[in-house]
């Protein structure tokens, strides 16, 4: 939730002037944070016990929770500098890679604990 608050503050400082509605962004960001947090935890569990159907469902919800705020921000912003798009997309990709690495690590760790 701290990360969500920082993102809301950053959007308020730098992107409101480009047409991003801070209140809509805040609602989307906070809602998405809850969706992402709950679904990513369930995704790890489903991957650990190898339930493909559940993994797909929780993976889809995790992805939605992750991309929704940035999708809104990039689609609502008007005439933002190219650098803004590049920064937002670069940060999204960077943090997605970190999330994937952490998810994989959690699945491996849970799998080891299950077999021990």
Q: Is the dihedral of CA 24, 27, 33, 38 positive or negative?
A: negative
- Compute CA 21 distance to the chain's CA centroid, rounded to the nearest angstrom: 19
Per-residue pLDDT reduced to its tens digit, 20-39? 999 999 999 999 999 999 99
- Domain spans of the chain, in order of start: 80-116
Q: Is 20 helix (H, G, I), strand (E, B) or coil?
A: coil
70-96 per-position pLDDT tens digit? 999 999 999 999 999 999 999 999 999
pTM: predicted TM-score of the whole model, two decimal places? 0.89
What's the CA angle centered on 18, arms 14 and 24, to 5 degrees?
85
Longest dimension (CA), the chain: 55
């Amino acid at each position: 939730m701290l990360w969500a608050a920082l993102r809301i503050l950053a959007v308020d400082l730098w992107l409101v002037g480009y047409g991003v509605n801070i209140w809509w962004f805040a609602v989307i960001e906070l809602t998405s944070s809850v969706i992402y947090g709950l679904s990513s935890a369930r995704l790890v569990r489903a991957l650990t016990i190898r339930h493909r159907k559940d993994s797909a469902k929780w993976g889809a919800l995790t992805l939605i929770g992750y991309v929704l705020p940035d999708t809104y921000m990039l689609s609502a912003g008007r005439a933002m500098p190219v650098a803004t798009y590049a920064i937002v997309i670069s940060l999204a990709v960077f943090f997605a890679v970190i999330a994937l690495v952490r998810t994989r690590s959690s699945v491996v760790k849970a799998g080891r604990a299950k077999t021990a």
